[in-house]
Amino acid sequence: MYTPPFTISAHAINLIAEISGQIERYAIRLEQSDAMKLRKANRIRTIHSSLAIEGNTLSEDEVKDIIEGKTIIAPLRQIQEVKNAIKTYELYSSLNPFSVDDLLKAHGTMMMALTDDAGRFRRGGVGVFSDKGLVHMAPPANRVPELIINLFEWLKEAKDHLLIRSCVFHYEFEFIHPFSDGNGRTGRLWQSLILGKLHPLFEHLPVENMVYANQEAYYNAIQASTAAANSGPFIDFMLQEILDALKNHQGSPLPQSEYSEVRDKVRVKFGISSGQIIELIRHNSSITLDEIADTLSVTRRAIEKKIKELRDAGYIRREGSNKSGRWVIIE
């Protein structure tokens, strides 16, 4: 199975911990008396921000008017973009984030009457552009179907935390750029769908609003990941955007005591990646289990379990005694 190249930084682990703690707080917020009003407002923000990133100039109020069926005076294409986005987000609960067919269905709705190949993969070359110019030249069109199928297979089968998988998918999707147009808005929708499998509240969390406010950093994260051939920088960026969206749309932050407790649980359950341990060994072959545990802020027992997995899988071996020996990475 193809596995996209990515690393999980210590910062990402901390962000996952804090996001995990904030999720339930936001879920409670969505159950309060004004929940329907909040959901509607957030859907407006989501649609407005995702389209604004792509150059749509309609305001939130104008998007709201279109949702409510009112007539506005604006470029027809921009109105069509909003109407399409409304219809696409109405499909949210019926879309399977692990289905390529559903991806094509969503794109067909999102880009209806906007492009001749809505709902179909591109047949020509395409690039990713920001205000400053070309960010990335996408792979050749004839490779797109295979690349997308491989990406979806990894998304479905990988055991990494869904927060991580959603960010890796988002970056890889934009890297592949499978459509002639509408890749950005479709990629952001799909990350939301993936996160919806973690918790239903993500249908009503306007992460796009935070990305819109930090567009330059968004494209910089894509460029940094492309330059590194590793989506780690984009993971860090998007996790921060998700956390900021949770905080900005629910009120007061999680108390430090609660955050620390959740952080420790997340680090033990999700945060220790084999790649992190191998990188520590690569930099210091004499490193001890206690030193690895201290560096990653987890228990020695958790490290012992991961080391055993790596040894059993044939990735590392131990030469010499536990006290004076060293680790060897089996390339």
On the question of pLDDT at 283 being above 90, the answer is no
DSSP character for 112? T
Residue range 243-267, pLDDT digits in tens: 999 888 764 444 444 444 444 444 4
- Is 166 within 8 Å of 110 (Cβ atoms)? no
Residue range 173-199, pLDDT digits in tens: 999 999 999 999 999 999 999 999 999
One-letter amino acid of 321: S
For 41, half-sphere exposure in the C-beta direction (CA atoms, 13 angstrom radius) is 7
Report angle CA 76, 79, 84 to the nearest 5 degrees.
120
DSSP character for 267? I
- Is 259 within 8 Å of 19 (Cβ atoms)? no
Confidence class of residue 34 from pLDDT cuts 50, 70 and 90? low
Q: What is the distance between the terminal CA atoms of the chain, rounded to a whole angstrom? A: 19
- pTM to 2 decimal places: 0.75
For the CA atoms of 199, 92, 106, 61, the dihedral, rounded to the nearest 10 degrees, stands at: -110
What is the domain partition of the chain in residue ranges?
A: 10-248, 272-329
Specify the CATH class of 272-329 in words. Answer: mainly alpha
CATH architecture of the domain 10-248 equals Orthogonal Bundle (1.10)
25 or 221: which leads in pLDDT: 221
On the question of pLDDT at 32 being above 70, the answer is no
